[in-house]
Amino acid sequence: MSSKLRNFFIDNAVVILFVVLIAIAIPVSGLPGTFLMQEILTRLGRNTFLVIALLLPIMAGMGLNFGMVLGAMAGQLGLIFITDWNIVGIPGLLLAMIISLPISVFLGWLCGSIMNLAKGREMVTGFILAFFMNGLYMMVVLYAMGSIIPIMNPELLLSRGYGIRNVVGLDGVRQSLDTLIPLKIAGLNIPAFSFLIIAAVSYFIIWFRKTKIGQDMRAAGQDRAVSGAAGIPVEQTRILAIIISTVLAGIGQIIFLQNLGTINTTSSHEQIGMFSIAALLIGGASVTKASIPNVIVGVILFHLLFLVSPMAGKNLIGSGMLGEYFRQFVSYGVIALALVLYEWKRVTQENDSRATLRGGGAPAAKEAKGGAA
């Protein structure tokens, strides 16, 4: 029994830690419940799609896809183009998604191909690749747009005549998705259409897992060598997982930015990977296992802590900046904690299996035997 309890705490250490932190921070912050509920509903609609984009690479054994930033860049390029062409409303968002699609597919293919050359180190490869592609993105946005790529709207351009301004207003598409089905329950505005899209993509992920390609991905994630021997095209399957993830990240970034109503051209995409991964890990996911409930729980807990931490910091220490520092600390800290826990569990499992082979039996097995006796 104690072993089960221990395993439960180890498996859910991050979730428990955050529930405790939030339980302390909410009363200290003094924020009203209706405000928190409204903010959480808005942020669920805004961020969940991006976090869902991380699920398939985890299933394919490629860990947390830090390369999703590439998809976010593609989404932003789509939004810049529709703002230049002045395409408004839902058609504008759909057109931005279609524009981002080929860019996301290409970047996803590139990312997946490079990750295949660095098997076992996909996460750090994706992380560095995102930095590299950020440089290319900056070159396109700050140099090519207006000089090589025609931009017709002079309000988008920097005063030197080329390059996109740092902040681009998305007035034409602002909250088009969120307000498409106006729904108000108990004084709370529900972004119903965004939730429907999230439900649809969640259903797609569940359905995809059951398909032949989905099963291949799971097999490749569990053991590459055995899958390859069984005739599964492991490398192609891994590339496909990253392409789908990048495409979903591009669409997710468009949904995210239409809710905010502005693009910070040079930095909106940078934090997306980190925050989405942190939210997923807080929801109880690991490097090898993640599900839709992990996404929902993670987004709620992560953003609840984001909301209450500035006020809690202000009330406790008298400085709201503490909460801002805490956000960064939480994002990076939870990723580090999840990686450490994952590695520790892996080493413990290896030691246990070695001990079992030597005939000593794993500590957990011994306890089970003792309990039975």
Partner 1 sequence: MTSRSLFQRSCVLLGFIALSVYLFYIGKGHMLLIDTNAVTINGKELRSPETIEVSIDGKPAESMGRAERILVLVGGPKHSITIEVLSGEDKTVEKQFTIPTFMDSAVVSVPAILGDAPPESWITTFTAPPVEEAPAEQMQHEQDTPEAAAQASPDATGAGQPKP
Q: Is residue 172 at the binding interface for partner 1, with CB under 8 A as the rule?
A: yes
Query: For tokens 């082979």, what's the residue?
Result: 357
Q: Is residue 109 at the binding interface for partner 1, with CB under 8 A as the rule?
A: no
Among 19, 85, 143, 316, binds partner 1 (CB under 8 A): 85
Q: Is residue 365 at the binding interface for partner 1, with CB under 8 A as the rule?
A: no
Produce one character per residue of 33-57: b if its CB has 16 or more CB atoms within 10 Å, e if not: eeebeebbbbbbbbbbbbbbbbbbb
Q: CA-based diameter of the chain, in Å? A: 82
Q: Is residue 16 at the binding interface for partner 1, with CB under 8 A as the rule?
A: no
CB 280, CB 270: distance < 8 Å? no
Q: Minimum distance between the CB of residue 223 and partner 1, rounded to whole angstroms?
A: 30
Q: Which stretch binds partner 1 (CB under 8 A): 81-89, 191-199, 247-255, 356-364?
A: 81-89
Among 31, 87, 140, 149, binds partner 1 (CB under 8 A): 87
Query: For tokens 């931009």, what's the residue?
Result: 151
Q: Is residue 105 at the binding interface for partner 1, with CB under 8 A as the rule?
A: no
DSSP-derived pairing of the beta strands 188-191 and 182-185: antiparallel
Q: Is residue 95 at the binding interface for partner 1, with CB under 8 A as the rule?
A: yes
Dihedral angle sign, alpha carbons of residues 78, 68, 43, 319: negative
Helix (H) / strand (E) containing 184:
strand 182-185
Choice between 80 and 277, CB closer to partner 1:
80
CB 290, CB 280: distance < 8 Å? yes
Q: 360 CB contacts (<8 Å, ≥6 apart)?
A: none
What is the length of the chain? 373
Q: Which stretch binds partner 1 (CB under 8 A): 33-41, 60-68, 93-101, 133-141?
A: 93-101
Among 27, 30, 89, 169, binds partner 1 (CB under 8 A): 89
Choice between 98 and 124, CB closer to partner 1:
98
Structure tokens belonging to residue 259: 């809710």
CB 119, CB 224: distance < 8 Å? yes
Choice between 85 and 143, CB closer to partner 1:
85
Structure tokens belonging to residue 61: 């054994």
What's the rounded Cα separation, in Å, for the pair 296 and 333? 20
Q: Which stretch binds partner 1 (CB under 8 A): 60-68, 94-102, 300-308, 349-357?
A: 94-102
Q: Which stretch binds partner 1 (CB under 8 A): 95-103, 206-214, 288-296, 352-360?
A: 95-103
Q: Minimum distance between the CB of residue 92 and partner 1, rounded to whole angstroms?
A: 5
Q: Which stretch binds partner 1 (CB under 8 A): 97-105, 109-117, 122-130, 338-346?
A: 97-105
Q: Is residue 213 at the binding interface for partner 1, with CB under 8 A as the rule?
A: no
Q: Is residue 98 at the binding interface for partner 1, with CB under 8 A as the rule?
A: yes
What's the rounded Cα separation, in Å, for the pair 372 and 356? 18
Residues that bind partner 1 (CB under 8 A): 82, 85-92, 94-95, 98-99, 101, 172
